[in-house]
Amino acid sequence: MVRSMLVAALAATTATALSIGRREASGEELFTIELEPGVVQVVTEEQKWALKNEGKTFIDITNHPNLASSASAKGFSKAAAAVAYPAVLVQQDTVNGLISLLDRSFLEDKLKTFSDFYNRYYRSTYGKESSDWLLGQVQAVVDASGVPGITVRAVTHSWIQNSIIATIPGKSTDKVVVGAHLDSVNGRNRAGRSPGADDDGSGSITILEALRVLLTDPTIAAGEAVNTLEFQWYAGEEAGLLGSADIFDAYASSGTVVKAMLQQDMTGYANGPLGVINDYVDSDLTAFVREVINTYTTVGYVDTQCGYGCSDHASASAAGYPSSFVIEASMDRISPYIHTDGDTIDTISFDHVLEHARLVLGYAYELALADL
């Protein structure tokens, strides 16, 4: 992470940034962002997006000082707890049966509609309409399954677009989470055309299809899983992980137990190994995810790094929860079209999306039935 532009401001802002919060100054709204542990800056809206367009990644902690890396030192309690992940994958017969039910045409149909919205910018009416459409698709999958007891809810925020959470109760309320972000952005014109087919329409539809298939399993349908499964779609990721920050900060504050979180952000532009992020993630969970990839996909993986705050798994980590992140390829081979009007469905390999869906099924089913 490049520290230029930050060093001069750091000394002046670090001591006060966590107490500034969201405020008006000189007619402009200010935001507190953390670009890496201990590197905090107060910026305007335009400065925040300029940093993003330079390739900087960050968590917007304006409304969530508890998520700052220094929060524990200031007396905020993190939710971290040691988790022992399975050393051996014992659900292979069932998971392979579920994998056989994955439907490429479902993925193609849903992603076409999702990327046909003019944009999914979190502050636009299109952003709200797209999240409403996706909420309807999640509910339709649940309704079609006939499985009782599943809840699907919209999570409202201080902006117009909603996040979505589908909860499949298990015997324990301890959660195993898989996530993706539902918003998109055009880096040159935030309110301009932004199909977001890969970033992150692909991840959003990947986990929707995995949810559909999981609900065909009798054990899951009967509520006999050991752990509760949650599928989460986050609003406002492009602006600093806003939706996931709201959700995971609230979970930590309420004492909600999350045993594992897997992020799926960009799953469609590639035909080689999956990219396993190995920086700012939980190493034990990531080791488990590598084993899932080896067992349930056909393309394998390569380790890669994406920097601090690069996707919504960072919100889970900041709240003290074990998180992992698998992207479509090593970071030097991901889609060059993201954050532009060229991130269209014709750039997507649905064979590759299916590989990610295999990963999600293996991760979700193995952990749902494991004593963690």
Strand partners, 230: 167, 177
pLDDT of residue 28: 87
Give the pLDDT confidence of 265-285 residue by residue, as tens digits. 999 998 999 999 999 999 999
> Residues 10, 15, 16, 21: is their CA dihedral positive or negative?
positive
Cis status, amide bond into 132, omega within 30 of 0: no
> What is the number of alpha carbons within 13 Å of residue 367 lying toward its C-beta?
27
pLDDT of residue 70: 83
* Mean local confidence (pLDDT), 56-74: 88
Give the pLDDT confidence of 18-28 residue by residue, as tens digits. 434 445 546 78
Paired tokens of 134 = 């996706």
The packing angle between helices 104-116 and 125-145, to 10°, is 160
* Mean local confidence (pLDDT), 202-211: 98
Distance CA 44, CA 32 (A): 9
Q: What share of the chain is helix, strand, coil (3-state, %, to 5)?
A: 40, 15, 40
- The model's confidence at residue 82, banded by pLDDT at 50, 70 and 90, is confident
> What is the number of alpha carbons within 13 Å of residue 247 lying toward its C-beta?
35
Q: 10 Å Cβ neighbour count for 133?
A: 17
Q: In angstroms, what CA-CA distances link 6 with 1, 33, 162, 205?
A: 11, 11, 32, 37
Distance CA 34, CA 12 (A): 14
pLDDT of residue 24: 53
Distance CA 112, CA 204 (A): 12
219 vs 4, residue with greater confidence: 219
Note the Cα 120 to chain centre separation in Å. 16
Q: 10 Å Cβ neighbour count for 192?
A: 15
pLDDT of residue 13: 33
* Mean local confidence (pLDDT), 358-364: 98
pLDDT at 79 over 90: no
Distance CA 18, CA 300 (A): 41
Q: 10 Å Cβ neighbour count for 92?
A: 14
Exposed (0-12), middle (13-18) or buried (19+): which is 15, by Cβ within 10 Å? exposed
Distance CA 198, CA 290 (A): 22
Closest CA to 175 of 262, 89, 65: 262
Give the pLDDT confidence of 321-346 residue by residue, as tens digits. 999 999 999 999 999 999 999 999 99
Note the Cα 141 to chain centre separation in Å. 20
Domains of the chain in start order, with CATH, are: 7-74 (no CATH), 92-368 (3.40.630.10)
Give the pLDDT confidence of 156-180 residue by residue, as tens digits. 999 999 999 999 999 999 999 999 9
* Mean local confidence (pLDDT), 33-55: 95
Distance CA 147, CA 223 (A): 9
**Average pLDDT in the chain:** 92
Residue matched to tokens 């990721």: 237
Q: 10 Å Cβ neighbour count for 138?
A: 24
